[in-house]
Amino acid sequence: MIAYGSAGETLARATANILGHGVLNIKRRLFPDGEQYLKLSGDFESGAAAVFQPLFPSPDSLFMELALIADALKGAGCKEVIGVLPYIAYLRQDERFMAGEPLSAKLIARLIEAVGIDRLIAVDMHLHRYSHAKDLFRIEARNISAMALLAEYYRKKHPESDPLVVGPDAESRQWASVVASILKAECIVLEKERLGDREVKISKISGISGREVVVVDDMVSTGKTLAEVISQLKSEGASRVDALVSHALLVEDAYRSLKLAGLGDLIASDTIPSRHSSVSVAPLIAEELKGMLR
Ligand code: R5P
């Protein structure tokens, strides 16, 4: 069975099409006090169900909806619920940076398990201080990557390009190096200091005059990280700067600030569907689900 929460419809339907499955119908409404209500309808099977729900744009209520769906599936006799969470929020707070802070990354992992998700598929989880999904999750958690697909898309679009691949910060090395190896390109990883939610400082880069550059990151949220890198690359003479990201959150006027900084194309996957979703991760998820249910 394939079910989806409010943010997961596009990817759930695309994956269901590949697998030749239907999707479960869920009726949803809000109680007058703001609580969510839902009800599954259709024919239930007792086997496994996959629930699609990226935790964006409103992570907290989408998570609650995921919990309600998982509980409803279990209540309807489903033996196993596979959470397909293409984007998992809260993973960037992977340390108590200051006294009094929560360790959100561990907490979201515990919560996902607690609401009845038995196995998990995620895409390019923000893994940094916890470097593997198994360091965060006690359940089986598969972390698949959109980076190869994004790189192949770029290659088709720019067959002649010999780009420099740039990662904005230490954690981006894991994604930038995959792209660089597919493009057979040089890869540089910069250093980033975060000064606030909307302010970052990026280390200097030089010797790139006339070069085409591809900036690679797992996600773009406010766009400040990418905008800062792009401005610097352009002022150092880069001839063109494109960006490859798995998760295009693009909050507030992020896309505008990227274009103002001099961005060429933003090439993103459909973990969070948008007009920038040039690449679909549905075939990867379908393969993973087939493997899990074999
Ligand atoms: C953090 O390290 C992530 O990999 C991204 O670089 C960051 O979350 C992007 O955020 P923003 O677009 O708000 O700068």
Phi, psi of 102 (to 5 degrees): -80, 160
pTM score, two decimals?
A: 0.96
C-alpha–C-alpha distance, residues 278 and 144, integer Å: 17
Helices (H) and strands (E) in the chain, counts: 9, 15
Closest atom of ligand 1 to 197 CA is 13
Largest CA distance in the chain: 62
- Whether the CB of 225 sits within 6 Å of ligand 1: yes
Do residues 199 and 222 touch, judged by C-beta distance below 8 A? Answer: no
288 alpha carbon – ligand 1 mean position (Å): 27
The list of the chain residues with pLDDT below 50 reads: none
Q: Which of 167, 164, 216, 217 is nearest to 189 (CA)?
A: 167
Q: Which two tokens stand for residue 16?
A: 């269901």
Most ligand 1 atoms within 8 A of CB, residue of 225, 257, 271 to mutate: 225
C-alpha–C-alpha distance, residues 245 and 168, integer Å: 12
Catalytic-residue membership of 192: yes
Q: What share of the chain is helix, strand, coil (3-state, %, to 5)?
A: 35, 25, 40
Of 134, 192, 259, 290, which is the active-site residue? 192
291 alpha carbon – ligand 1 mean position (Å): 32
Q: Residue 24: its pLDDT value, please?
A: 96
Do residues 226 and 206 touch, judged by C-beta distance below 8 A? Answer: no
59 alpha carbon – ligand 1 mean position (Å): 16
57 alpha carbon – ligand 1 mean position (Å): 15
DSSP letter assigned to residue 275? T
Do residues 69 and 37 touch, judged by C-beta distance below 8 A? Answer: no
- Whether the CB of 257 sits within 6 Å of ligand 1: no
- Whether the CB of 228 sits within 6 Å of ligand 1: no
Q: Which two tokens stand for residue 117?
A: 């998700």
Q: How many CB atoms lie within 10 A of CB 218?
A: 25
